[in-house]
């Protein structure tokens, strides 16, 4: 019983300096968007499952121009992304309409990944 008075302060000290960690943290979801077709389009990828992609419930991950052959890679924290792009003859203003991509764990590693493609010619 001699060591007991010293043990309590050591345990309290260890608890005070232990790092905080969330009990159930969700790993980031890798998102890959391939651009197919010809030419340049506008592309919007947002973390979340609300439409339109720039809704206040989403967090924009990519907003800019992409060319055919480009592969855009981002990471989403929610497991779902909203994807929208322009296409056709009016590539500055003709939007295809938002699509929600979501998925589940893949493979034995538990790594989550979403991938898909958008076309410069079609919605």
pLDDT band at 27 (very low <50, low <70, confident <90, very high): confident
Mean pLDDT, rounded, of the chain: 85
- Give the pLDDT confidence score for residue 18 in this predicted structure: 62
- Give the pLDDT confidence score for residue 19 in this predicted structure: 65
DSSP β-bridge partners for residue 74: 31
Segment 101-114 shows an average pLDDT of 70
Domains of the chain: 24-119 (2.60.40)
- Give the pLDDT confidence score for residue 112 in this predicted structure: 81
Candidates 39, 63, 35, 42; CA nearest to 119 is 35
- Give the pLDDT confidence score for residue 114 in this predicted structure: 93
CA distance 37 to 31: 20
Beta strands (DSSP E) in 1-123 are 29-36, 40-47, 59-67, 71-76, 80-85, 99-102, 112-119
- Give the pLDDT confidence score for residue 57 in this predicted structure: 92
pTM to 2 decimal places = 0.76
pLDDT band at 90 (very low <50, low <70, confident <90, very high): very high
- Give the pLDDT confidence score for residue 85 in this predicted structure: 98
pLDDT in tens, 34-89: 999 999 999 999 999 999 999 999 999 999 999 999 999 999 998 899 999 999 99
Is residue 4 classed as helix, strand or coil in its secondary structure?
helix
For residue 59 the two structure tokens come to 């967090």
């Amino acid at each position: 019983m001699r060591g007991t008075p010293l043990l309590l302060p050591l345990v309290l000290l260890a608890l005070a300096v232990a790092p905080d960690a969330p009990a159930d943290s969700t790993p980031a979801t890798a998102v890959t968007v391939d651009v197919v077709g010809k030419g340049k389009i506008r592309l919007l990828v947002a973390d979340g499952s609300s439409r339109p992609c720039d809704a206040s419930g989403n967090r924009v991950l990519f907003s800019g121009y992409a060319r055919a052959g480009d592969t855009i890679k981002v990471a989403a924290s929610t497991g779902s992304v909203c994807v929208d792009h322009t296409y056709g003859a009016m590539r500055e203003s003709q939007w295809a309409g938002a699509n929600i991509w979501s998925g589940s764990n893949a493979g034995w590693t538990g790594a989550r990944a979403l991938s898909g493609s958008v076309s410069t010619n079609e919605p």
